[in-house]
Structure formats: C-alpha cells, structure tokens
Amino acid sequence: MLAFLIASIPSPSSGVLHLGPLKLHMYGLTLLAAIALCVWLTSVRWQRLGGDGDLVLRVAVWGVGAGVVGARAYHDVTSWQQVPTPKIKGVFEIWQGGLGIWGGVLLGTVVGAWVVRRAGANVAMFLDAAAPGLLLAQGIGRIGNWWNQELYGKPTSLPWGLEIDTAHRPVTGLAHATYHPTFLYELLWDLVGVVLLLWIAKRRDIRAPGLFALYIVWYCFGRFFEELLRIDPSHHYLGLRLNAWVSIVVFAGALWAFRQITRDKQVFPRPHRRQKPLDPAHPAGPKMSIPKGRK
C-alpha cells in the first residue's frame, strides 16, 4: 500500500529560480532560511537566559561568515578534484554545493565564541543556547542538496527512493533511477535531535556547555550511518569514507568532553527559564552564614 501511495520522491528539474533578470539559486536560499531559523531559536533561548538579543545577531554575522569560509575550505582540501575549473574561481562557487559541515562548525564556533567573549558574556552558556538552533540549521540546510540533486545514497527500490536525473547520476549507477534520500534521513535525524535537546534542556540540569557536546554527539552518530549509504566521490581509508572516520573521532571527542563537563555538579541556569529578579530587600542575594570556628 505504501509503495502504491509513494512510488518515489521526485527531484526538482532545476535548482535555479528565475525572477526576470534575477537568477536565484535555491541552494543559497535554503541556507539563508536555515540560518534565519538558527538565529531565531538561539535568540529566543539566549534571551530567556537574560542575554542580549543583539549579541546573537553579531555572532551570526561573524560566525556565519567564518562558517562558510571554513566549510568551503574543508571541502576544497578534502575534495580538490571536485572543485570546478578554473580552480581560482571554483573555490568561491558555493551555490554549486561543496560545503563541508565539519569545517563550518569548527571555524564558525571558534569565531562565534570569540565574539561572545569579547562582549563579556558566558561562552559556555551561549554554546548551549545555540546548540538546538545549529542542529536545526544543519537539517534544513540539507534540503539544498535535494535542489542540487547531490549527496544521495546507494540505489534503492524502496517506495521513498529519490529520483535522480541521468545527468546527476554516478557513472556506475546509470541503470538505476532511484536512490536513498540521505538528505531526508539527515533532515529527520536532526529534527529529532532538536526536539531531544530542547527536552533535555527543559528537564535536566546539565553544566554548560554539556548540551553543545550532546549536539555534537548526536550529529556524529547519525552522520556515521549516513556515510555508509552515500556514494558520492570520497577518499576511503580502511574501507570507510573520510567523513565516516571524522564522525568517529569527533563523536569520541565530544562524548569524552560531555563526561568531563558533567563530572562537575555545578550548573548554569537552564535556557528555558528566565532569571528571577533579585529580592529588593536583599539585592545582593541571601546572606551566607559562617559556621562557628571559621572565618
């Protein structure tokens, strides 16, 4: 019955939207929508902590710019043969795809943390506030791969197989019409992760930046299995794709970091709660009693 209702998932005939003389690349528009949702969710969570909403915008400007540079640099370094020629021009053609999430998250996080630190805000708390939004942006951004008909998986006859035009199929798979929609798998995985992170932030007291570490753990776990399905060109080592190995290493590092962070029982206020105003009678908070015999 399901196979009858969903024969396959169609791919768009074009990834470009023409509005008169304007030519809009849907890949880029999808990334803009993903960034906007990330900024919105992060701003809501940060302001619930009593933070400044303008800081989120400043972080977005610097972090997104650095993230694009880092993502493109990672792609170019690890997939130089795929960069369009001439190379000096191809490295800037991000609308053609080719953004490595690992480089984007790394450089974007470093620069964003620098902006937060310069503003005198708590970097660890900001990372936790941003974690669900970052995962949401990564999931929404995968829709851009659908527009470009890229980064799909192995051939499949499943009813949700993704139709790929002949021009976008791998040479070894010309006889197959439908492939695993890995973009959709990651989108759904990331959305579930967003809900899970928000639930954990609401129900559990975790020392910052523990939630950010969990976001990395969740993404890497799903990305590893996604890499087992993908068939786009990639370097292989010991039978695994390069990004599968990166997922393993980053997963282990993030899991170790989470364990180290949560060893200390000290916690910061949870992002879903606003700071309660101080008691006017005790603006500095309750007085501390000093036990006898101690000074």
Reduce the secondary structure of the chain to three states and give it as a string.
CHHHHCCCECCCCCCEEEECCEEEEHHHHHHHHHHHHHHHHHHHHHHHCCCCHHHHHHHHHHHHHHHHHHHHHHHHHHCHHHCCCCHHHHCCCHHHCCCCHHHHHHHHHHHHHHHHHHCCCCHHHHHHHHHHHHHHHHHHHCHHHHHHCCCCECECCCCCCEECCHHHCCHHHCCCCEECCHHHHHHHHHHHHHHHHHHHHHHCCCCCCHHHHHHHHHHHHHHHHHHHHECCCCCEECCEEHHHHHHHHHHHHHHHHHHHHHHCCCCCCCCCCCCCCCCCCCCCCCCCCCCCCCC
The structural domains of the chain, with segments of one domain joined by +, span: 23-263
pLDDT one-digit tens code per residue, 258-279 = 999 988 665 555 444 444 444 4
Residue 35 and residue 140 in contact, taking contact as beta carbons nearer than 8 Å:
no
User: How is residue 168 written in tokens?
Assistant: 């976008």
Please list the pLDDT of the chain residue by residue as tens digits (295 residues).
444 456 788 888 777 888 888 888 888 899 999 999 999 999 999 999 999 999 999 999 999 999 988 888 888 777 766 665 555 555 566 555 567 888 899 999 999 999 999 999 999 999 999 999 999 999 999 999 999 888 899 999 899 999 888 777 775 555 677 899 999 999 999 999 999 999 999 988 889 999 999 999 999 999 999 999 998 888 899 999 999 999 999 999 999 999 999 886 655 554 444 444 444 444 444 443 433 444 4
pTM of the model: 0.82
Burial class (CB in 10 A: 0-12, 13-18, 19+), 201: buried
Burial class (CB in 10 A: 0-12, 13-18, 19+), 70: buried
pLDDT one-digit tens code per residue, 144-183 = 999 988 889 999 989 999 988 877 777 555 567 789 999 9
- Tell which residue, 122, 148, 158, has the closest CA to residue 269: 122
> Which whole-number Å values give the CA distances from 59 to 17, 78, 126, in the listed order?
30, 27, 10
